[in-house]
Amino acid sequence: MVFCDVYATLVLSSKNRMVNVVMPLPIFYLFFNFGAATDILAVICLKSEDGVIMLKLPKQELMSLISELRRLGFEVIAPTRSNETVRLAALSSPSDLETDYIRIINSPRDFLLPSREPLFRYRSTATVTSYGLKIRFPTVEGPCPVTIVPEYTPPKVKIAFFGIHPCMANSIRYLDKVMLSEPADPYYKARREDMFVAVLECEEGDQYCLCKTVESYKVPEGYADLMIRRGGDGFLVRSRSKRGDELLASLKRGEVAGKPKDLVPRLKEEYAFDRTDEAGIDERDASEYVGACTLCASCTVTCPTCYCSDIEDKFSLMDPSNVERSRVRMSCQRRCYSMIAGGTTFLNTKEARFKWRLKHKFPFSERAYQLVGCVGCGNCIAFCPARIDFRKFLGRRVA
């Protein structure tokens, strides 16, 4: 119970004046649960002896936080619902915020690493001749004849993710490891730098979640400015950074601080496997799993940590010297992912591609970053048309 040793501050209205009343928690509960506090201004500060402070806010006040973030210049990206599908989108109105959901079909990655990003333009000496396109190649004709035109600069945006689940906050941590390792990716860095994150903790997952296996229900320091959880008919919001403190202080409901433990969600199924067992992945027969694979690539499109990309040059035959170079997302489940000049394809079977994906997520990432590349969201299972479940291939069900 995180609220032991707690006293509460009620902010009451009395004759048009605000009054703070401090009381022990049991009395506060009586006050709150039996309707005695009809004049509570909807915000209650809970403070423990070691300085833990939380605000209890109705959903309306949660929306005030979104409005304040927008006033501070953030583009607020939050879960929104359209029929049965919940997805992250830039909020046009704070009331579009969806807080009653388990999974989203997209992820912070789609905003930090767009599926297509123009990088720059370059001018080459390519010309159109009567027999086609003529391009001078630097290796056979001297120095590189290409001039980079720095037409694109890294985007300067202030993104606030509001109401993402802990697994998604962990996916940003993984992307940081990959994209900010030297040499850092300037495009990712520019979007990432001023980011604000408000995490909505999960009480329970569905049959596809595996956050307990990879421990992604815990949000590491630096990956949440606010932690939000349900509390009665409202939300308990606690700060985990200076910016979080400042945002909560903007509500003018009292001082904030705090450090209760992260919630451990209830899961319908739990699995255990060895994350470092590369040989085991190679040796096991995956035909039972990949037989029904349609190669649709949903597993990588909806995965919050898949970042593989290809480079695409776009030019017009009218002006072949003026080329736009873009980074476009690529899926390891596609055959062309590992195809090289001459047509050789290294991952030339479904089984090889399935195993490659898992090796990248687990042993390769563990080795390169000391962090697994799977944050346990379960999207690759939930959105797979064949419901191919990699947990059963890698390990066994334990609960």
**Is 332 near ligand SF4 (CB under 6 A)?**
no
Closest CA to 48 of 67, 28, 68: 28
User: Smallest distance from the beta carbon of 19 to ligand SF4, in angstroms?
Assistant: 48
Give least dist CB 333 to ligand SF4, A. 4
Q: Which is nearer to ligand SF4, 297 or 371 (CB)?
A: 297
Piece in contact with ligand SF4 (CB under 6 A), picked from 22-30, 82-90, 264-272, 373-381: 373-381
Task: Characterize the bridge pairing of strands 75-82 and 159-164.
Answer: parallel
The answer to the question of residue 304 lying near ligand SF4 (CB under 6 A) is yes
52 touches ligand SF4 by CB under 6 A: no
**Dihedral angle sign, alpha carbons of residues 366, 360, 224, 376:** negative
Q: Which is nearer to ligand SF4, 43 or 332 (CB)?
A: 332
| 113 counts as binding ligand SF4 under rule CB under 6 A | no
Contact between 169 and ligand SF4 per CB under 6 A: no
By CB under 6 A, tell whether 377 contacts ligand SF4: yes
CB of 103 to ligand SF4, least distance (A): 9
Contacts with ligand SF4, 347-366, as mask; x by CB under 6 A? --------------x-----
Pick 51 or 291: Cβ nearer ligand SF4 = 291
Q: Which stretch binds ligand SF4 (CB under 6 A): 115-123, 198-206, 242-250, 384-392?
A: 384-392
CA gap 176, 192 in Å, rounded: 9
Q: 196 or 208, CB closer to ligand SF4?
A: 208
**21 within 8 A of 45, measured Cβ to Cβ:** no
Q: What is the H or E stretch that residue 54 is in?
A: strand 53-57
- The C-alpha atoms of residue 311 and residue 137 are separated, in whole angstroms, by 18
Among 333, 355, 363, 389, binds ligand SF4 (CB under 6 A): 333
Q: Report, in Å, the least distance between residue 211 CB and ligand SF4.
A: 9
3-state secondary structure of 19: strand
Measure the CA–CA gap between 39 and 229, rounded to whole angstroms.
24
Of the residues 108, 254, 265, 378, which one makes contact with ligand SF4 according to CB under 6 A? 378
Q: Does 76 bind ligand SF4 (CB under 6 A)?
A: no
Which residue's CB is nearer to ligand SF4, number 327 or number 361?
A: 361
Minimum distance from CB of 334 to ligand SF4 (Å)? Answer: 9
Write the burial class of residue 35 (CB in 10 Å: 0-12 exposed, 13-18 middle, 19+ buried).
Answer: exposed
380 binding ligand SF4? (CB under 6 A): yes
Near ligand SF4 in 274-293, by CB under 6 A: 293
HSE at residue 360, side-chain half, CA atoms within 13 A, is 17
CA atoms within 13 Å, Cβ hemisphere of 162: 31
Number of residues near ligand SF4 (by CB under 6 A): 23
296 in contact with ligand SF4 (CB under 6 A): yes
384 binds ligand SF4 (CB under 6 A): yes
Residue type at position 83: N
Nearest residue (CB) to ligand SF4, 106 versus 298: 298
Burial 150-173 (b: 16+ CB within 10 A, else e): eeeeeeebebbbbbbbbbbbbbbb
In Å, the largest CA–CA distance within the chain is 89
In 3D space, the residue among 189, 102, 199 whose CA is nearest the CA of residue 160 turns out to be: 199
Task: Please report whether residue 172 would count as binding ligand SF4 according to CB under 6 A.
Answer: no
Token digits of residue 222? 């630096």
In whole angstroms, how far apart are CA 51 and each of 4, 22, 32, 311?
Answer: 12, 15, 22, 51
Q: Identify residues 115-134 at the interface with ligand SF4 (CB under 6 A).
A: none
CA dihedral sign, ordered 293, 298, 304, 305: positive
Site residues (vs ligand SF4, CB under 6 A): 293-299, 303-305, 333, 361, 374-380, 384-386, 388
